[in-house]
């Protein structure tokens, strides 16, 4: 076996793999033809093999979540203690947690009681339960935000999804959220009927319109770091924050990945030359 | 080959003592050191070793995950997220395990297509091949049940669709489905038994793998020429160091691909809907299995018509049962491959027509995979039917027909001859460059 055959083996392997993948990657929402428009791609700080969090952005995004989204959207799986990822000190995390009221108990008298949140608590839900959430929102429960950035992935289409393997595109979720949040306000085409109580948005994954009205407007959230207080900036920041909420280990994963891949590359080349040496000792 | 004499000689006193009581080191030595392999194996022959290692990786990561996973509809989804967020390196274990399943199938498909191209299933290796098909079936069952465990939307609805197959069986189908699910719908009882079986099956796979390797070591490996080894000394090399170092190199290359997905594209091969907790009241817009099941899913859905007695209204097989039969048949037919392909020539390298049909068949499988990901409507259904027909025609018509009508190229007298001819060829093609 020579180098050529090894290379062709690897090429064949990757081809076979990408062909196989080709069949799987684009499965979601193939039937419906939604979203009407592909998500707009944002240049995220956490994209690519060396991606890292932009902590200032995460803090801004958290502020947007807290002041706007959290009115309706829960974030059940995220604990206050993990907010130190955003660059907050222990005291700051404690202060943030204590701003929330958490139901605890039962106490010695058997009563449930409310106390200020602690870092070990999870974000409390804005509604008592799903029934209450549905009742307050015309029957549609606002989705939980813990995993939303990974739970929405509009189809990439052929052949883009093959190139995605090489370009390491994995920001489908935050791109989608950003596009949805900035996608309101367009006039729907005449061919599309928008039912009452829904709002046209060509980036929505499951139809031409969704039950949520445009949530963000210019100047709604005050930024103290001088970032523009625009819908575009808010949307970017909150999308980045939601990506962190969905995959808090993302940066750790990529950093370990670099070490692992580097090790494997060096190990592979050592093995290649060892193999060559071993086989060269063979007389026909 | 290894059935012959053993060249193992224990060196230490303890070794001699043990050899007379339980000759396990001798077995290991004969199987993984002295075992002779044809010296002309190419890279495609390294996937068996890769698969063995992948099984170990899956079992190790799986055992760790099972320590933290809670098999209950109320807690499963959350416990998986706890693994991702709170368990030390839990995210790594889960990513390795989930992507490991995909990589396992990448490797097994390459391994199977390699076997098909080089005619590795032919006598005297029929049992070896059939054991491989059994492993493949066990893998499919294991992967399917594993995908249900995170209790996401696609877990739940995938399980609902797949277990629904059994209700297609006439008369007793409904009872079987009820028995399998442990209830009238996919629920806590289903999740618990799937977890139990998901933990059990890999060890059954390991058992069949031992038989698979045993059968391999009885007949010896095929090789790209398809000509059996005639001169052990000239045509084979000992497994260690020759095959071990080659397999190790291939494995590390494979791990680079594996790592690429684990660390940079961990959700690429999965489905976004599985990050939504299972909701029996909300059907996803589009239920699709994992990528490695898509070709079979396409075959399942290709049967859209009832089969009955012509000119009457009597339906013998309705479309649902027909689809299930076609899907299981597409795997079952692999058991008969050694008897469907009657050609005396083993390797596709010396079968000019077979070689072309092999690639058409491979293309068919890829197309079926693509169609499995599409909705079952319009042109997609028609294409699925055409490719499903071709899939079966390949085994039932083309291979038996080729066996008699194809004129194979002359075979080399021996592996040594083929290797020498190749070296000559290489030398002549190099000349202009000199």
Cβ–Cβ gap B268/A284 under 8 Å: no
Q: Are B407 and B30 in contact (CB under 8 A)?
A: no
Tell me whether residue B222 is in a domain.
Answer: yes
Tell me whether residue B8 is in a domain.
Answer: no
The partner residue sitting opposite A5, judged by closest CB among B42, B263, B375, is: B42
Tell me whether residue A217 is in a domain.
Answer: yes
Residues A138 and A265 in one domain: no
Tell me whether residue A10 is in a domain.
Answer: no
Residue A32 is predicted with a pLDDT of 57
Within 13 Å of residue B129, how many CA atoms lie on the same side as its CB? 24
Residues A66 and A188 in one domain: yes
**Residue B220, pLDDT above cutoff 90:** yes
Residue A283 is predicted with a pLDDT of 65
Tell me whether residue B5 is in a domain.
Answer: no
Say how far apart CA B304 and CA B80 lie, in whole Å: 38
Tell me whether residue A64 is in a domain.
Answer: yes
Give chain A positions within 8 Å (CB) of B266. Answer: 170, 253
Residue A17 is predicted with a pLDDT of 45
More confident residue, B431 or A81: A81
Task: Count the domains in chain A.
Answer: 2
Task: Count the domains in chain B.
Answer: 1
Residue B426 is predicted with a pLDDT of 63
Residues A38 and A168 in one domain: yes
Residues A177 and A242 in one domain: yes
Residues A139 and A242 in one domain: yes
Q: Assign residue A62 the CATH number of its domain.
A: 1.10.760.10
Tell me whether residue A84 is in a domain.
Answer: no
Tell me whether residue B409 is in a domain.
Answer: yes
Tell me whether residue B4 is in a domain.
Answer: no
Say how far apart CA A216 and CA A59 lie, in whole Å: 17
**Mean pLDDT (whole number) for B73-87:** 97
Parent domain of A284: 253-284
The partner residue sitting opposite B106, judged by closest CB among A6, A17, A23, is: A17
Tell me whether residue B287 is in a domain.
Answer: no
Residues A70 and A149 in one domain: yes
Give chain B positions within 8 Å (CB) of A252. Answer: 91
Tell me whether residue A153 is in a domain.
Answer: yes
Tell me whether residue B420 is in a domain.
Answer: yes
Interface predicted TM-score (ipTM) of this complex, two decimals: 0.91
> pLDDT 10s digit of each residue in chain A, 284 long?
444 554 454 445 444 444 444 444 443 334 458 899 999 999 999 999 999 999 999 999 999 999 999 999 999 999 999 999 999 999 999 999 999 999 999 999 999 999 999 999 999 999 999 999 999 998 889 999 999 999 999 989 889 999 999 999 999 999 999 999 999 999 999 898 898 889 999 999 999 999 999 999 999 999 999 999 999 999 999 999 999 999 999 999 999 999 999 999 999 999 999 999 999 988 65
Parent domain of B387: 13-282+292-428
**Mean pLDDT (whole number) for B304-331:** 89
Our CA dihedral for B161, B162, B166, B167, rounded to 10 degrees, sits at 0
Give chain B positions within 8 Å (CB) of A28. Answer: 271-273, 285-286, 288
**Mean pLDDT (whole number) for B134-143:** 98
Q: List the one residue out of A266, A267, A269, A282 whose CA is nearest residue A3.
A: A269
**Residue B124, pLDDT above cutoff 90:** yes
Residue B417 is predicted with a pLDDT of 86
Tell me whether residue A2 is in a domain.
Answer: no
Residue A284 is predicted with a pLDDT of 59
Residue A139 is predicted with a pLDDT of 87
Question: Chain A: residue nearest B241 by CA?
Answer: A278
Residues A236 and A185 in one domain: yes
Residues A270 and A231 in one domain: no
How would residue B428 be classed by pLDDT, with cut points 50, 70 and 90? low
**Residue B262, pLDDT above cutoff 90:** yes
* Listed range (B4-18, B294-308, B400-414) with the worst mean pLDDT: B4-18
Query: DSSP of B249-263, one letter per residue?
Result: HHHHHHHHHHHIIII
Residues A260 and A172 in one domain: no
Our CA dihedral for B126, B132, B133, B137, rounded to 10 degrees, sits at 160
Residue A196 is predicted with a pLDDT of 87
Q: Assign residue B389 the CATH number of its domain.
A: 1.20.810.10
Residues A264 and A159 in one domain: no
Residues A197 and A262 in one domain: no
Tell me whether residue B6 is in a domain.
Answer: no
Residue B274 is predicted with a pLDDT of 96
Pairing assessment for the beta strands A101-104 and A113-116 based on DSSP bridges: antiparallel
A82 touches chain B (CB under 8 A): yes
The partner residue sitting opposite B291, judged by closest CB among A24, A265, A279, is: A24
Signed CA dihedral, B279, B281, B285, B288: sign only: positive
Residues A165 and A234 in one domain: yes
How would residue B427 be classed by pLDDT, with cut points 50, 70 and 90? low
**Residue B429, pLDDT above cutoff 60:** no
The partner residue sitting opposite A31, judged by closest CB among B42, B44, B375, is: B375
Cβ–Cβ gap B109/A20 under 8 Å: yes
């Amino acid at each position: 076996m020579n180098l050529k055959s090894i290379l062709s083996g690897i090429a064949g392997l990757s081809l076979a793999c990408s062909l196989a993948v080709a069949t799987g990657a684009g499965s979601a929402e193939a039937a419906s033809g939604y979203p009407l428009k592909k998500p707009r791609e944002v240049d995220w700080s956490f994209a690519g093999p060396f991606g890292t969090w932009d902590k200032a952005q995460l803090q801004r995004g958290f502020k947007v979540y807290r002041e706007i989204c959290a009115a309706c959207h829960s974030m059940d799986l995220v604990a206050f203690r993990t907010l130190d990822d955003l660059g907050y000190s222990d005291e700051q995390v404690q202060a943030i947690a204590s701003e929330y009221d958490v139901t605890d108990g039962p106490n010695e008298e058997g009563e449930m009681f409310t106390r200020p949140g602690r870092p070990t608590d999870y974000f409390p839900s804005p509604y008592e339960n799903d029934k209450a959430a549905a009742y307050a929102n015309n029957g549609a429960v606002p989705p939980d935000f813990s995993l939303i950035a990974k739970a929405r992935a509009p189809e990439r289409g052929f052949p883009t999804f093959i190139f995605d393997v090489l370009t390491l595109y994995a920001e489908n979720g935050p791109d989608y959220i950003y596009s949805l949040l900035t996608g309101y306000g367009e006039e729907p085409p005449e061919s599309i009927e928008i039912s009452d109580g829904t709002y046209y948005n060509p980036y929505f994954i499951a139809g031409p319109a969704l039950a949520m009205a445009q949530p963000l407007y210019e100047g709604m959230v005050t930024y103290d770091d001088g970032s523009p207080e625009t819908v575009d900036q808010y949307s970017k920041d909150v999308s980045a924050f939601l990506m962190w909420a969905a995959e808090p280990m993302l940066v750790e994963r990529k950093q370990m990945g670099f070490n692992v891949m580097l090790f494997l590359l060096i190990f592979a080349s050592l093995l290649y030359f060892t193999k060559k040496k071993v086989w060269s000792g063979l007389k026909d | 080959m290894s059935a012959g004499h053993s060249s193992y000689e224990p060196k230490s006193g303890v070794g001699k003592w043990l050899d007379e009581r339980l000759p396990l080191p001798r077995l290991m030595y004969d199987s993984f050191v002295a075992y002779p392999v044809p010296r002309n194996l190419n890279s495609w022959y390294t996937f068996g070793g890769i698969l063995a290692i992948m099984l170990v990786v899956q079992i190790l990561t799986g055992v760790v995950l099972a320590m933290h996973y809670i098999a209950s509809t109320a807690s499963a989804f959350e416990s998986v997220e706890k693994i991702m967020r709170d368990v030390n390196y839990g995210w790594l274990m889960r990513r390795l395990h989930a992507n490991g399943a995909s990589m396992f199938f990448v490797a097994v498909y390459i391994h199977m297509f390699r076997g098909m191209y080089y005619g590795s299933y032919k006598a005297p290796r029929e049992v070896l091949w059939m054991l491989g098909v059994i492993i493949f079936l066990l893998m499919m069952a294991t992967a399917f049940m594993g995908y249900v465990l995170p209790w996401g939307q696609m877990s739940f609805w995938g399980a609902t669709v797949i277990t629904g197959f059994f209700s297609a069986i006439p008369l007793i189908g409904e009872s079987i489905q009820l028995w399998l699910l442990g209830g009238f719908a996919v629920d806590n009882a289903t999740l618990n038994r799937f977890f139990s079986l998901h933990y059990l099956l890999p060890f059954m796979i390991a058992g069949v793998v031992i038989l698979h390797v045993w059968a391999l070591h009885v007949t010896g490996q095929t090789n790209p020429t398809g000509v059996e080894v005639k001169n052990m000394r000239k045509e084979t090399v000992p497994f260690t160091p020759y095959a071990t170092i080659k397999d190790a190199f291939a494995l590390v290359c494979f791990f680079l691909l594996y790592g690429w997905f684990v660390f940079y594209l961990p959700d690429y091969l999965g489905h976004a809907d599985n990050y939504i907790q299972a909701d029996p009241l909300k059907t996803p817009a589009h239920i699709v299995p994992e990528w490695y099941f898509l070709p079979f899913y396409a075959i399942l859905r290709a049967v859209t018509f009832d089969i009955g007695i012509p000119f009457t209204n009597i339906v013998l097989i309705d479309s649902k049962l027909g689809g299930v039969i076609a899907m299981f048949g597409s795997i079952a037919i692999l058991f008969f491959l050694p008897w469907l392909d009657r050609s005396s020539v083993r390797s596709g390298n010396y079968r000019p027509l077979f070689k072309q049909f092999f690639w058409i068949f491979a293309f068919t499988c890829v197309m079926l995979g693509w169609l499995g990901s599409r909705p079952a409507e319009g042109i997609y259904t028609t294409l699925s039917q055409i490719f499903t027909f071709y899939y079966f025609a390949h085994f039932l018509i083309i291979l038996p027909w080729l066996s008699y009508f194809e004129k194979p190229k002359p075979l080399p007298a021996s592996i040594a001859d083929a290797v020498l001819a190749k070296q000559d060829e290489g030398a002549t093609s190099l000349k202009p460059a000199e």
